[in-house]
């Protein structure tokens, strides 16, 4: 299980590094005027973070359940 988590973390890191290379350096004017100006960008960041954390927790619990099922299956004759 530790190996799976390490592989997932490595995959996320490997995917994030090239994305930074292609990221736009300055935000478009409409984004600055609407999202940053009104403070809604904070809400968007929080909602996206909660969704990603929820997906990660769900995947973690699913991995644990599958591991438990696999161990039970192997122990049966």
The CB density around residue 35, as the number of other CB atoms within 10 Å, is 16
CB 40 within 8 A of CB 34: yes
The CB density around residue 48, as the number of other CB atoms within 10 Å, is 10
Enclosing H/E stretch for 44:
helix 40-75
pTM, entire model: 0.53
pLDDT 10s per residue in the chain (77 long)? Answer: 567 777 777 777 666 666 555 555 665 677 677 777 787 888 889 999 999 999 999 999 999 999 999 999 988 87
Enclosing H/E stretch for 39:
none
Number of domains in the chain: 1
Q: Residue 42: which domain range?
A: 2-75
Alpha carbon distance 21, 19 (integer Å): 5
């Amino acid at each position: 299980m530790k190996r799976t988590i390490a592989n997932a973390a490595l995959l996320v890191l490997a995917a994030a590094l090239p994305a930074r290379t292609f990221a736009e350096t300055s935000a478009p004017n409409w984004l600055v005027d609407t999202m940053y100006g009104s403070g809604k960008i904070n809400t968007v960041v929080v909602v996206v973070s909660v969704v990603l954390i929820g997906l990660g927790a769900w995947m973690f619990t699913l991995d644990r359940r599958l591991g438990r099922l696999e161990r039970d299956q192997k122990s049966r004759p």
